[in-house]
Amino acid sequence: MVRVTGVADETPTVRTIRFEDPGMAAALPGQFAMVWVPGGGELPMSVMAGDPGGAAFTVRRHGPASTALYGVDRGDLIGVRGPYGNTFDVREGRLLLAGGGTGMVPMMRLAMRVADPSRVVILMGARTAPEVIFERAAAALGEVVISTDDGSRGEEGTAVDAARRLLGSGRFSAAYVCGPEPMMAGIVAEARSRGVFVQASIERPMKCGVGICGSCCMGDRLVCSDGTVFDGDRLAATGEFGAIYRDKAGIARRY
Amino acid sequence: MGLATRVAGIDLAGPAMLASGILGISMDVFRRLLDSGAGAVVSKSLSAEPREGYPNPTMAEAAGGWLNAVGLSNPGAPNFANMMRGAPGVPVVVSLVGSDPDEFVSMARLFEGLEVPAFELNLSCPHVEKVGLEVGDDPELVSRIVRSLKGAGVRVIAKVGLGSSDYLGTVRAAEDAGADAVTAINTVRAMSIDVHSGRPVLSNGFGGLSGPPIRPIAVRCVREITSRHEIPVIGCGGVSCWEDAAEFLLAGASAVQVGTAAGGNPGIFAEINSGISSYMERRGYSEISEVRRAA
């Protein structure tokens, strides 16, 4: 169990929960923790690390478990296990990092690891202006491009539209993406069609986090233990990326 | 010298099978495990209707193993049969969970014409009411279920566990009713409580313990069964390396199942195959069954 040291609002529905834990502070970009709120459920969360010894989760409230985590206060105890999963293969040259919603967390961590703002473009996709998160912090890590579906901030259109324009410039040697699966599928397809190396950090329902339960499977891959980060070619080979998910009973359904 | 073996009429490419409940909702994952050296794969326990299972937390580390109360989440037997129909060439031992003979038989019928070498009856899930251990604790009901399935002309493996009645009575009932083999054991009913919040760590409270802490219990059960009964036994409980697999064979098992240790390590089947193969070579054995007879 770890004690919550701080809670900060990012948007009306997104909060960052800070805590101290040496293991989580050492988590690599793309790695996740299974986070337990006693009495409120457990869910996989991408780990944000930054301050020495400190780590954080950025959570959007939507289901019971994420709402429970959103509702914790400074001083509360929460359970964390992990970090689990792999990390990104950071390439040379100019890099496009595209994040949608709380999918910005691994992109921020990745940008910190690259630690060279001159070769990083951070594309932040959101539905509308108030949902844009981490803008100030991102500006210190690279060139920031914002897109909103309703045009209330930055470019009007989806993150896929913005990524298409950016990748079309031919300036990028690699692209990295985390966000809703249809957005990731769109950007992975754009990058692959141009021969740009691309990786995505995938989110799927999880129970164990360590490759036992099978809940997070995508084709013959397990997101928790083979991922969360996969190459675009591997994702395309699953035949399920961006097209099929499994419900709580394990029934394959189309997006 | 060969690792291939035959248990109760079921051909196994190697002695280590994937246990039920692990990694079991994608035919592509099953194919990957068979390609990785698994002797056979067993599906999650399928019920007549889909089940979502319990909310998280459903799994937690405990005493060097894992505690789980997943709640038998599964797509339901009809959906799973359709998945198999769409992926020919991947044989799957189908695990079934239910509460009466007709339910089991109607589920088994859904798999006619598919590559199902046997049905494994879950008589031992320790954390869902009306099914699993509650059925296994009633030898007379077990007997009727096994007889009905044998009457339908399918191979039957009874998976037994430690419930509130003597599990050997369940084994006897299954054997007398014509079961082809027994798998022993399932997870052991268990619980963990977080001392900071005072709450059980699983949403369901009780769960089942798996992994290394239950291995000596499972080895004991395999020896107890094989010393009193003729029915072939598949050993299950905490197998994590080839030595563990060999230990079960020496206890009298005809094959083993690997569950928890396959988590995040699909290579475990190849590791066990290679270790058992070298062990047999050192001892001059040409068949898996000779390991068992050496005990």
Domain that holds residue B157: 5-53+72-188+211-293
Q: Using CB atoms, which residue from A1, A213, A220 is nearest to B196? A: A1
All residues of chain A having their beta carbon less than 8 Å from the beta carbon of residue B31 are 220
The answer to whether residue B95 is domain-embedded is: yes
Q: How confident is the model over A181-196, as pLDDT tens digits?
A: 999 999 999 999 999 9
pLDDT at B267 over 90: yes
Q: Using CB atoms, which residue from A36, A79, A214 is nearest to B22? A: A214
Q: What share of chain B has pLDDT > 70, as a percent?
A: 100
Residue among B125, B221, B236, B241 flagged as catalytic: B125
Q: Which 227-246 residues of chain B touch chain A by CB within 8 A?
A: none
Pairing relationship of beta strands B255-258 and B16-18 according to DSSP bridges: parallel
Q: How confident is the model over B54-100, as pLDDT tens digits?
A: 999 999 999 999 999 999 999 999 999 999 999 999 999 999 999 99
The answer to whether residue B78 is domain-embedded is: yes
B44 touching A (Cβ < 8 Å): yes
CB contact under 8 A, A36 and B28: no
Average pLDDT, chain B: 96
pLDDT at B52 over 90: yes
* Chain centroid, CA B197 distance in Å: 34
Q: How confident is the model over B93-133, as pLDDT tens digits?
A: 999 999 999 999 999 999 999 999 999 999 999 999 899 99
Closest residue on chain A to B60 (Cα): A208
Extract the tokens encoding B41.
């794969």
CATH code, domain carrying B38: 3.20.20.70
Q: Using CB atoms, which residue from A212, A250, A251 is nearest to B22? A: A212
DSSP code per residue over A144-194: EEEEETTSSSSEES-HHHHHHHHHHTT--SEEEEESSHHHHHHHHHHHHHT
B197 touching A (Cβ < 8 Å): yes
B79 touching A (Cβ < 8 Å): yes
Q: Which 144-163 residues of chain B touch chain A by CB within 8 A?
A: none
Q: What is the pLDDT of residue B241?
A: 98
All residues of chain B having their beta carbon less than 8 Å from the beta carbon of residue A238 are 28
pLDDT at B1 over 60: no
CB contact under 8 A, B61 and A81: yes
B86 touching A (Cβ < 8 Å): no
Q: How confident is the model over B226-251, as pLDDT tens digits?
A: 999 999 999 999 999 999 999 999 99
Q: Which 259-278 residues of chain B touch chain A by CB within 8 A?
A: 259-260, 262-265
pLDDT grade for A152, boundaries at 50, 70 and 90:
very high
Instruction: Indicate the SS3 state at residue A78.
Output: strand
Compute the average pLDDT of residues A63-91: 97
What is the torsional sign of CA A161, A162, A163, A165? Answer: positive
pLDDT grade for B225, boundaries at 50, 70 and 90:
very high
- Please, which residues have CB within 8 angstroms of residue A181's CB and are 6 or more apart in sequence? A202, A203, A241, A242, A245, A255
Shortest Cα distance, chain B CAs vs residue A214, angstroms: 4
The answer to whether residue B195 is domain-embedded is: no
All residues of chain B having their beta carbon less than 8 Å from the beta carbon of residue A215 are 25, 73
B241 is catalytic: no
The amino acid that residue B112 corresponds to is E
Compute the average pLDDT of residues A15-27: 94
Residue linked to tokens 């939507």: A62
pLDDT grade for A249, boundaries at 50, 70 and 90:
very high
pLDDT at B295 over 80: no
Closest residue on chain A to B69 (Cα): A207
Shortest Cα distance, chain B CAs vs residue A64, angstroms: 10
CATH top-level class of A95-254? alpha beta
- Kindly list the domain boundaries of chain A, sorted by start residue: 2-84, 95-254
Compute the average pLDDT of residues B25-46: 95
Q: Using CB atoms, which residue from A38, A43, A222 is nearest to B56? A: A43
Instruction: Indicate the SS3 state at residue B3.
Output: coil
All residues of chain B having their beta carbon less than 8 Å from the beta carbon of residue A222 are 23, 29, 264
Q: What is the pLDDT of residue B25?
A: 82
Q: Which helix (H) or strand (E) holds B176?
A: helix B167-176
pLDDT at A61 over 90: yes
Q: How confident is the model over A87-126, as pLDDT tens digits?
A: 999 999 999 999 999 999 999 999 999 999 999 999 999 9
Q: Using CB atoms, which residue from B23, B197, B201 is nearest to A214? A: B23
Closest residue on chain A to B35 (Cα): A220
Compute the average pLDDT of residues A2-7: 96
pLDDT at A232 over 90: yes
Shortest Cα distance, chain B CAs vs residue A160, angstroms: 29
Q: Do domains A2-84 and A95-254 have the same CATH topology?
A: no
Residue range A2-84, CATH number: 2.40.30.10
Q: What share of chain A has pLDDT > 70, as a percent?
A: 100
Q: Where are the alpha helices (DSSP H) in B36-166?
A: 77-85, 101-109, 133-136, 139-151
pLDDT grade for B24, boundaries at 50, 70 and 90:
confident
Q: How confident is the model over B143-199, as pLDDT tens digits?
A: 999 999 999 999 999 999 999 999 999 999 999 999 999 999 999 999 999 999 999
Q: What is the pLDDT of residue A31?
A: 97
pLDDT at A56 over 70: yes
Q: Using CB atoms, which residue from B50, B74, B199 is nearest to A39? A: B199
Shortest Cα distance, chain B CAs vs residue A44, angstroms: 10
